Amino acid sequence: MKNFFLVVALCASAVAQTPTSSWKQIESKATGVRLYVHQKPQRNGGVVTGWQKLVQPNGDMVLMLSQCDCRSKRFRLLAEVVVSNGDAFPGNSVFLPNGTTTTPWTSIGEDSPGEQIFVEQCRVK
């Protein structure tokens, strides 16, 4: 399990630093919080695995690795990593595992952020 955390942290670091053109903004709240999806998810049959990031106005972000079941319109979270821009830890970007268990498959609600992620990720061929 320790190796899993290391792999997720290293992947999240690489994903967080990919060029802006690799990300597509799919939502922006009045609070300044923005939701992005990485534009190169991986497809395996009807299941798509991809990264999303939720960016706070101060630059802090949550990187999420999730799967969408494109045939059954279901979603599950595989990993989540919090990246601090320095407000919580001055001078450092810190990766903190924020959970260790894959969530169960859940139905995607209408007009939800999950539905926006589903639409974008399941569009990939």
The pLDDT, as a whole number, for residue 124 is 64
Residues of the chain with pLDDT under 50: 1-7, 9-10, 89, 91-96
The pLDDT, as a whole number, for residue 18 is 53
User: Radius of gyration (Cα) for the chain, nearest Å?
Assistant: 14
The pLDDT, as a whole number, for residue 4 is 46
Task: Kindly state the tokens that stand for 66.
Answer: 């999730």
Burial grade of 48 (CB within 10 A; 0-12, 13-18, 19 or more): buried
The pLDDT, as a whole number, for residue 6 is 43
d(CA 37, CA 24): 5
Burial grade of 118 (CB within 10 A; 0-12, 13-18, 19 or more): buried
In the chain, where the domains are located:
2-122
Q: For the domain bounded by 2-122, which CATH number is listed?
A: 2.40.128
